[in-house]
């Protein structure tokens, strides 16, 4: 007997004979949305003349709202005045605050801003968790000591505000005798098909290069991980996005080999993957009773794995 896939469920057996039959139900993946997930299954007598069916409801309760951050800290150069904090959530809104330097929540993809509160796009998190990118702004650090900005991120759990985590933004000190210039100073957004961009780096000190900013950085590769005084190029290569993947970003940090402070940053962003797509060649097929046993073919075209389920 074959299994029947209905959304996040598998049901087996899919058919049987007269009598009482135990039907097994398996949940095949987590439901991460805060709303209830529901699917209906129709069991029907095989003989069409019977015109008898029974509908079963399968449900998964909503997951309590949550918000988690991908990393606990971000390092930026003394003159960098904004940072993006990435994470995952199914909440409807969030807010940020700092007990250190003043921060301002600024608009970014996926939410709107009211004061220090961000409201996710309507419908976000209801049926599935999603990636979030919280962008905050702050003043540059012109002192000779690094500054830590503790950004407390809270989310709305449906009745009250709950603390998600505190993300430390470490802003390096101003170092007057260091010359470090990246040309061009920004990268263009990578297409979802991936690609390569090159920058030229002029420095009067030795430095290291690393990727920061998210849990997953393997989609970016660098042509080198360190540099010496002088001018040299750096190739940045982004891999292709998977179908349906969200936009992503990370930061390349250039650090002083002696002090460890960040002397330059370069943001790497990539467009979201190709949207899922699926279509039938013909959207209606009609059988007459003269066509019992006749097989009619219809082409289903999709750009990723797919399955069929009855809409009830």
Q: Which residues bind other proteins (CB under 8 A)?
A: 2, 4-5, 7, 14-15, 42, 44, 46-49, 51, 53, 243-244, 275-280, 282-311
CB of 300 to other proteins, least distance (A): 5
Output the smallest distance, CB 40 to other proteins, in A: 12
Nearer to other proteins, 161 or 276 (CB): 276
C-beta of 216 vs 310, nearer to other proteins: 310
Token output for 28? 């095949």
Minimal distance, residue 180 CB to other proteins, in Å: 43
How far is residue 56 from each of residues 11, 14, 25, 28, 40, measured CA to CA in Å? 11, 13, 11, 18, 6
Nearer to other proteins, 20 or 299 (CB): 299
Ramachandran assignment for 219, one of left (phi > 0), alpha (psi -120 to 50 degrees), beta (any other): alpha
Between CA 240 and CA 124 the distance in angstroms is 25
Closest CA to 251 of 75, 10, 119, 4: 75
Angle formed at CA 270 by CA 264 and CA 276, multiple of 5 degrees: 165
Which residues is 181 bridged to in the sheet?
202
Least Cβ distance, residue 35 to other proteins (angstroms)? 15
26: burial class by Cβ within 10 Å (0-12, 13-18, 19+)? exposed
**SS3 at position 89:** strand
Closest to other proteins by CB, 1 vs 258, is 1
C-beta separation of 227 from 203 below 8 A: yes
The CB-of-289 to other proteins minimum distance in angstroms stands at 4
At its nearest, how many Å lie between other proteins and the CB of residue 285? Answer: 5
Residue pair 45/110 in contact by the 8 Å Cβ criterion: no
Q: Which is nearer to other proteins, 206 or 277 (CB)?
A: 277
Q: How far apart, in whole angstroms, are the C-alpha atoms of residue 288 and residue 283?
A: 17
Q: How far is the CB of 76 from other proteins (least distance, A)?
A: 34
Our CB check for other proteins shows the closer of 7 and 227 to be 7
For residues 177 and 281, which CB has a smaller minimum distance to other proteins in the complex?
Answer: 281
Token pair belonging to 291 = 């066509």
């Amino acid at each position: 007997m074959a299994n029947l896939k209905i959304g996040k469920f598998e049901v087996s057996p899919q058919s049987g004979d007269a009598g009482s039959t135990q039907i097994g139900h398996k949940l095949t993946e987590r439901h991460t949305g805060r709303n209830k997930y529901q699917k209906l299954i129709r069991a029907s007598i095989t003989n069409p003349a019977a015109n008898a069916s029974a509908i079963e409801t399968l449900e998964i309760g909503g997951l309590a709202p949550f918000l988690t951050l991908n990393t606990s800290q971000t390092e930026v150069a003394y003159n960098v005045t904004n940072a993006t904090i990435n994470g995952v959530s199914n909440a409807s809104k969030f807010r940020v605050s700092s007990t250190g330097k003043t921060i301002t929540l600024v608009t970014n993809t996926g939410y709107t801003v009211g004061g220090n509160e961000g409201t996710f796009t309507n419908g976000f998190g209801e049926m599935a968790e999603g990636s979030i990118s919280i962008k905050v702004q702050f003043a540059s650090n012109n002192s000779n000591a690094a500054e830590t900005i503790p950004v407390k991120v809270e989310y709305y759990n449906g009745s009250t505000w709950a603390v998600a985590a505190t993300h430390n933004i470490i802003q390096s000190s101003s170092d007057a005798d260091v010359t470090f210039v990246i040309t061009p100073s920004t990268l263009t957004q990578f297409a979802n098909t991936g690609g390569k961009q090159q920058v030229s780096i002029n420095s009067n000190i030795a430095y290291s290069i690393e990727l920061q900013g998210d849990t997953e950085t393997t989609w970016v590769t660098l042509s080198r991980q360190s540099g010496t005084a002088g001018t040299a190029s750096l190739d940045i290569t982004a891999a292709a996005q998977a179908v349906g993947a969200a936009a992503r970003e990370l930061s390349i940090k250039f650090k002083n080999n002696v002090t460890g402070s960040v002397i330059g940053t370069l943001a790497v962003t990539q467009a979201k993957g190709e949207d899922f797509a699926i279509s039938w060649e013909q959207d209606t097929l009609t059988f007459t009773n003269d066509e019992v046993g006749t097989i009619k073919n219809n082409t289903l075209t999709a750009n990723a794995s797919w399955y069929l389920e009855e809409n009830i």
